[in-house]
Chain A
């Protein structure tokens, strides 16, 4: 398995534009997490899914952010409209819940720059 795959690796967009980040979790994993990493706040949990169902989205900053997981092998995080303060590295991670080994595996991240 190639691990958690995120795309794109880098995204530069203008303020006001829609941005979609993509994640393919490890096959067989049933939990998926979206995190935002900044210098000031470190790793913030935005939302997590279990068996494709959103369990807790309390970390989503505001209505401009939305996330979906239409199936077990794909998730998106969308920002519409984007703002400069959204600039950060966004990580996706997956894990196999309830199997004893609960290690979360991370993707390489998407570095988002909103100008």
Chain B
């Protein structure tokens, strides 16, 4: 069965500290992984996807198939990064057949 696990409900850091939001997945096939972000009073929106291998707002995420992980990292957190972050898995690459989300991690960045 497909499953996404985000073990931390809340992560609090000070501005300038490194951030790592954990995500593990369970899927027997070849998944596509995403990170979505929901800022206060805004819509849930795509932050980045693993196939793009890009850095968005200083965030990066590397797919580790051996550990079935897709952790989101940023070396220096900013206050504006405070938001709810969801890791998501799509059943087939380039084909959003079934988009499954984890339970989310709330990131709080203190000044």
Chain A residues with CB under 8 Å of chain B are 3, 31, 33, 35, 40-45, 48, 50, 55-56, 91, 93, 95, 97-98, 100, 102-109
Contact = CB atoms under 8 A, between A and B. Distances in A.
Contacts of B31: none
Given A3-B43, A104-B46, A35 B96 contact: no
Contact of B94 (A43, A56, A98, A109): A98
A90 B94 CA distance: 26
Contacts, number: 58
Contacts of B44: 43, 91, 93, 106
A31 B43 contact: no
Q: Sort chain B's interface into a size bin.
A: 20 to 34
B99 A33 contact: yes
A102 B104 contact: no
B97 A55 contact: yes
Contacts of B46: 103-104
A33 B101 CA distance: 12
B96 A43 contact: no
B86 interface: yes
B103 interface: yes
B95 A102 contact: yes
